[in-house]
Amino acid sequence: MPNSTTRLNRNYEYLGGVLLLLLGWQLLSMRYNQVLVPSPAETLQALVSLVESGELAENLLITFHRQLAGLAAGISIGMMSGLLAGCFRRLDLLVQPLINFLLAVPAIIFVTMAMVWFGMGTTMTVFLVSLLVFPVIHTNAAEGLKAIDPALLEMAEVYRLPPLLKVRKIYLPGMRHALIAGFSLAMASSVRLTVMAELLGAREGMGQRIAIARVYLETERLFAWVLVLLVILISLEFLFIRPLKRWAGQGQMEAGALTARQDGF
């Protein structure tokens, strides 16, 4: 019950922050010209126009298709390489310079390179998203595997636990927190990366529509697309990221209980 009350209070505080943001937005729109800062009402009207014309649904589908394809590829490759790096120290050292390079270089550099290699469109966008999701998942998978208590693995060997039971009772609870942190970051980042890639090098999608609105100074449409992006990110936060983090917390409790049981033996 206290946890539910705390969660409800946090939601109210979050809503309060959104209302303050809307109030500040309205005040700015009253201070500056519409071309610079359209009002929330004007932005909402532009959003309704995007919905009625079908432009919103059409471009959202294109963006989501690219984002999900890049996210799935990045997670798959990152998981495989991260688990191998967590098991083999030499491989971890061999791959680490590449991981550091991908994490350190600004994303705009990779967008430019991808445009040269693949041209403008879906292939470039999917490549960029998968390339920059990969190091995040790799790092969290490798670190999560290394963080598993060796004593638990020794206990599993002593009691000859079946491999599937070992994975379910030791590896997944032990790695859950690190993996969920990586998935959460990758999920949110993939949306922003997709829009950025489309903004600079695509002929359709949300990012391309934002670029068109900027060129023609259709600020209310620009704000409408940004509002759509914010709604997507907030929805991901409440529908996926927060539930996954709560699940990760349960995994830590399970791992702690198993450790205590092992100490008892």
Once rounded to an integer, what is the mean pLDDT over residues 80-102?
91
pLDDT band for position 264 (cuts 50, 70, 90): very low
* Degrees to nearest 5, angle at CA 117 with 115 and 119: 45
Q: What is the mean pLDDT of residues 154-165?
A: 77
Residue 102: CB atoms within 10 A of its CB come to 18
Q: Can you tell me the mean pLDDT for 72-98? A: 92
Which residue reads 């990779």 in tokens? 110
The size of the chain, in residues, is 265
Amino acid 262: pLDDT: 45
Please write the tens of the pLDDT for every residue from 34-49: 778 898 899 999 999 9
Quick one: pLDDT at residue 202? Answer: 84
**Phi/psi class of residue 187: alpha, beta or left (left: φ > 0; alpha: ψ in -120 to 50)?**
alpha
Q: Mean pLDDT, to the nearest integer, of 148-152?
A: 79
What are the two backbone dihedrals, phi and then psi, of residue 119, each rounded to the nearest 5 degrees? Answer: 75, -165
State the angle between helix axes of 55-87 and 206-215 in degrees (0 to 180), rounded to the nearest 10: 130
> Does the pTM exceed 0.75?
yes
What pLDDT is stored for residue 75 in this prediction? 95
Under the banding of pLDDT at 50, 70 and 90, the label for residue 254 is low
Query: What is the pLDDT at residue 260?
Result: 47
Structure tokens at 262: 């092992």
